[in-house]
Structure 1
Amino acid sequence: MEKNIQPLDPIAFSLGPISVHWYGVIIGVGLALALVIAMREGEKRGLNKDVFADLMLWAIPISILSARLYYVIFEWGYYSQNPGDIIKIWNGGIAIHGALIGAVVTAYVFSKKRGISFWQLADIAAPSIILGQAIGRWGNFMNQEAHGGEVSRAFLENLHLPNFIIDQMYINGTYYHPTFLYESIWNLLGFILLISLRRVNLRRGEMFLSYVIWYSVGRFFIEGMRTDSLMLTSNLRIAQTISIVLIVGAVAILIYRRMKGLSKQRYLDRSV
């Protein structure tokens, strides 16, 4: 039996009656870093430096709302009985697929309003998005959520993980797979891949589609290890289903755009 293993405090600091959770702080850091990277790359590609800052003003609140709405819809059995918990996003419970839906729709409308290529915006933002996801998963770590099935402490030690991660994976007397870490590492590798692909000078739209494919492949397999998945049916995980749809859809769009000559412009082209 493990002794004196205390979980990390999920509260970063308090301002009077207001408690600021690490979950929100970490998500905020990820968003801030993603914005800085996108703004710098956008300027290099000929976009006004304020474009991504303006986009984020709309995309962040809409994405948070859509992420929470997505989660609540698929957990309606619980929230219909506990409506007061719907607003408690600081306790976790926002779905990245919901956030991505909100972000993509917002970016599409924004690009049309500004007369900017949606694909150019999406390509530039892709590395920033996946880096923000890599950082954001550590918010799940602080909340002891998004973990996998039971494992032994010896298993975690054999992964050469630091003790603070191993101890945080000790929940109610049991150790669990740190699937938050697996996905964070996968996303970090995806960030490195996308940054490298800039030199390849892919056709416009293919950077973003590569992001969709890379993230979805990793999410499909890692989701299968988790114990807290949103379920479509008793045996069908929503995230895995959506991952398959996204992979097939992204590949189909990539092929279609090439066949129809809709992707003649390149990533490094400055024109919009």
Structure 2
Amino acid sequence: MDLAYIPSPSTGVIHLGPIPLRGYAFCIIIGVFVAVWLGNKRWVARGGKPGTVADIAVWAVPFGLVGGRLYHVITDYQLYFGEGRNWVDAFKIWEGGLGIWGAIALGAVGAWIGCRLRGIPLPAWADALAPGIALAQACGRWGNWFNQELYGRATDLPWAVEISAGPNRDAGTYHPTFLYESLWCIGVAVLVIWADRRFKLGHGRAFALYVAAYCAGRVWIEYMRVDEAHHILGLRLNVWTSIVVFVLAVVYFVLSAKLRPGREEVVEPDRSGAEGEKKAPAPAGADAAVEAKDAEDKPSDPAEAPAKPTVLTKPEPTATATAPSAEPDAAEAPEAKKL
């Protein structure tokens, strides 16, 4: 007899009249708000402008949701395109099924578009958002609890999760791998925040640390799961994905530290700088103030006006020699010959 366990919700949806509130979607929405809130605080602390993180998230979140769903459907296609399956179920995202790898990959494309439009380096934005993404995953994993999915092997531990009978699952108590991953993601967020403050991580290294740390935990958590999945060389596909992504994140972290040490000094350009270089128009009343100043400097009485300095000019030299007269002088004229 089990002395204690974590009960699962009897339903994953609550109806408020005609409006269904699904626990899975609610957890994802909470995670998005937490990521944007924390990312905005970190972005502003690094010299960015408030609201920039949310503006770029408008691009990143939809891309991420589409990417996460595509990854899940592609890697678990038998759940939607196998015999007796309905392919329309692939669009029912509220029933669960988001692959973090697809969400990060395609979400990065959306973030790149948003950063390009704002003239912001993507690595700096990713560094600011990294711990928030980990917390968003911690919140989102509780959506699996509402849907009674992503549990581990059977166990009688006090913190086991109770799973009721349903399609492709047997009633019993199992390892709550959703809880393990949620707690691990919280630890990853704390690690990234601490390391970023301690070592001043920049140029995407805080994000790389988040990816590497998450993958390290995902390997052993994925190994505990018992739900249907594809296997390669005896390991689940997501285990191999975690190993590959972990290696890539570590390589990027090391190379980035050597090629671009330190942290970005400017993360968001000041678009008002170019306009500030132009001569600003004089404020209202400035011309009147200048005229009043000139009036104070100008004496009211002409007698008080300072005399203009006398400019001494050098007289032009007069000619010392005169041109000879056309007619000879009478005194000098020779006497006329007498006839």
Q: Name the TM-score, length of structure 2 as normaliser.
A: 0.70
Segments of 5+ residues of structure 1 without an aligned counterpart are none
Q: Any idea what SS the aligned residue of 2:133 has?
A: helix
**Where does residue 49 of structure 1 map in the other structure?**
50
Structure 2 residue 31 is matched with structure 1 residue 30: yes
> Please, what is the CA RMSD of the aligned residues?
2.2
Instruction: Note the C-alpha offset of 1:226.
Output: 0.5
- What one-letter code is carried by the residue in structure 1 that aligns with 2:143? G
- What one-letter code is carried by the residue in structure 2 that aligns with 1:42? W
| 1:185-239 deviation line (CA, Å, top 9, x unaligned) | 1111111111112221124321111101100000011100001253254833221
Distance 2:201 2:102 in 1: 27
Segments of 5+ residues of structure 2 without an aligned counterpart are 269-339
Structural mapping, 1:230-245, within 5 Å: 230-233=229-232, 235-245=234-244
Structural mapping, 1:1-272, within 5 Å: 7-80=8-81, 81-152=85-156, 156-157=157-158, 161=159, 166=160, 168-169=162-163, 172-200=170-198, 201-228=200-227, 230-233=229-232, 235-259=234-258, 261=259, 263-266=260-263, 269-272=265-268
- Structure 1 consecutive aligned stretches of length 4 or more whose deviation exceeds 4 Å: none
Instruction: Note the C-alpha offset of 1:64.
Output: 1.0
Calculate percent identity across the aligned residue pairs.
35
Q: Name the TM-score, length of structure 1 as normaliser.
A: 0.86
Distance 2:130 2:11 in 1: 29
| 1:128-170 deviation line (CA, Å, top 9, x unaligned) | 0001111111111111111101112xxx21xxx3xxxx45346
- Bigger Rg, which one: 2
- What one-letter code is carried by the residue in structure 2 that aligns with 1:116? I
Instruction: Note the C-alpha offset of 1:32.
Output: 0.7
Pick closer, same or farther for the CA change 1:33–1:112 going to 2, 3 Å: same
Instruction: Note the C-alpha offset of 1:173.
Output: 2.9
Tell me the number of residue pairs that the alignment of Structure 1 and Structure 2 aligns: 257
Higher relative contact order, chain-length normalized (CA < 8 Å, sep 6+): 1
Instruction: Note the C-alpha offset of 1:256.
Output: 2.1
- What one-letter code is carried by the residue in structure 2 that aligns with 1:219? R
